[in-house]
Chain A
Amino acid sequence: MNNNLYQYLLQLGDNALILGQRLCEWTGVAPELEIDLALSNIGLDLLGQANQWYEYAAELKGGDATPDTIAFLRDAHEYRNVQLVELPNGNFADTILRAVIFDTFNLLLHEALTQSSDQRIGAIAARAVKEIGYHARYCKNWTLRLGGGTEESHQKAQKALNDIWDYAFEALTPGPVDHWAKEAGIGPDLEQVKSKWEATLQQVFHQASLQIPKPGFVDRKAKSEGIHTEHLGYILAEMQFLQRAYPNLQW
Chain B
Amino acid sequence: MSTRVADGLGLLARLVLGGVFLVAGALKVTTPEAMAKATQAYQLLPHDVAAWVGYALPMVEIILGLLLVLGLFTRVAAVLTSLLVVAFIVGIAQAWARGLTIDCGCFGGGGTVSAAETNYLQRIIEDLGLLACGVWLSWRPDAHLSLDRAMFRPATT
Tell me if chain B binds chain A. Answer: no
Chain A residues near B (Cβ < 8 Å): none
- Seen from chain B, the residues whose Cβ lies within 8 Å of a Cβ on chain A are none
